Chains A and B, each alone.
Chain A
């Protein structure tokens, strides 16, 4: 190192390099972060004049008593609880498959990753067309199997299922890539040793691959959960700006958008954002805590 300890001069020089990032971070990340926690406490907030009546918990108690918010929370939770396990299990199976086959692995990887680079809005329109009652692809296929047509986007019993299908379809590729990276990190000698000891394929998976893949699996689960907590674009496009029949596809982000942009209730929307942030942070912290716990366990051995 040329300058092992910082001096006033080296600090000034570093500041020249840091200035663009620091200024932008302060204005567009730090300041709004603090602001978000302030705005959610504003009561009687007039956005146009910037006038704040008082500070208090009114916005949170509004959320607590708002049945629409309850519905949004329920839908989001349902979406996460159904989409995440399915998405993770499918991604793991496909990654294991790609890892096992002798040829075409690159081709499959390319195909499965395509939805990740696809515009959610553009493909959302395609899904809107696929789910259509009259002439949509899905009902045409069901018709071939002699299953009566389902009005996916207008029947509240099915519209959340439609959203879940879209979310899984779009999130799968990203998870597959992470699992493949994890599988490549596993030392092949472990599997080879287990094979020599006479372990069956299934035993090798449960006793060698699965435990060694655990850190990646948890990462994928948390990542997928957060992504599905944030679902907005898909709902907006599938239902042309609405939240599904009888708000059946109203997610937390759609609720935030409606309060913020449609109803101009900035403070309530900000409170919703804070609730969302706390959920996501709790999820992240639990994961980080788990990793520390495991590392201590491994270190103690």
Chain B
């Protein structure tokens, strides 16, 4: 590098920022290994004297976390898979089929991307309440299966494929259905993975909607269950931190494994829209 001093300054700034970013995570892990049920105060040592791995076991026993985990997993998988299914079909239709009102309908979907979910919260809740669907898996999953954002992102990707590919497949005797699942989906795997990952993160971490539509432990997802656990445990921070680690860790691992796709998803979602 031409400017060693300037480069060093950049490294210092970036390292300082990285430490500040990681600090809460570090503090969380350290606290999770402190002895539980003792009140932590300013006089408590910074690092635990002996590592209390049993805290993690106690958390698992103190609240139905296995149930919360299962619910979160189910809601995340069902939402993501369902949303991919509806969006893939529709994106294919918008790309390769011709129908009346096509432009008009697409413009509508683009416009709907701008509608914030918060505006739909109350009317959707009322709809579900009148259907007696509050506190069901349907309430947690169904409202999120239509995503204009995912449709538009996939349509952009599908449009980039040459039309001749579609013609060639059709001439070889492939049906539209076969073309979609055996050609279009495999060659667009990166972008499909990317939008799916964004949805997985959104569903796993979603809080306000599950908070509103669930009211028993049998249906609570991890974030809502964690809040319930908090009101039981008060300021038993070692246990709370151990529980937080359990909620955060799965997505950490997923992120480290699929970082490339996630960044593709973020940039694709914002730069084109």
Contacts and interface: CB of A to CB of B under 8 A. Distances in A.
A18 to B, nearest CB: 5
A123 B14 contact: no
Contacts of B114: 281, 284
B205 interface: yes
Contacts of B109: 25
B161 interface: no
B33 interface: no
Contacts of B227: 121, 236-237, 241
Nearest to B42: A135
Nearest to B17: A94
Contacts of B42: 134-135, 139-140, 143, 149
Contacts of A110: 256, 259
Interface string B1-18: 101001100110110011
A230 B118 contact: yes
Interface in A99-157: 100-102, 104, 108-123, 125-127, 129-130, 132, 134-135, 137, 139-140, 143, 149
A111 B21 contact: yes
Nearest to A253: B118
A51 B254 CA distance: 48
Interface string B78-100: 00000001110110110011111
A188 to B, nearest CB: 15
A25 B145 CA distance: 8
A3 B97 contact: yes
Given A236-B207, A237-B227, A181 B21 contact: no
Interface of A: 1-7, 10-11, 13-15, 17-18, 20-22, 24-25, 27-33, 35-36, 39, 47, 50, 90, 93-94, 97-98, 100-102, 104, 108-123, 125-127, 129-130, 132, 134-135, 137, 139-140, 143, 149, 169, 172-174, 177-178, 181, 201, 216, 219, 223, 226, 230, 232-233, 236-237, 240-241, 253, 256-257, 260-261, 266, 269-270, 273-274, 276-277, 280-281, 284
B143 interface: yes
Nearest to B23: A137
B238 to A, nearest CB: 10
B89 A18 contact: yes
Contacts of A17: 89-90, 92-93, 97, 176
Contact of B99 (A6, A116, A169): A6
Contact of A177 (B40, B92, B266): B266
Contacts of B116: 226, 230, 276-277, 280
Closest 8 CB pairs of A and B: A32-B123, A24-B146, A35-B123, A17-B93, A14-B99, A121-B223, A122-B244, A11-B99
Contact of A125 (B6, B123, B205, B230): B230
A25 B223 contact: no
Contacts of B35: none
B151 interface: yes
B124 A28 contact: yes
Given A2-B167, A123-B244, A117 B255 contact: yes
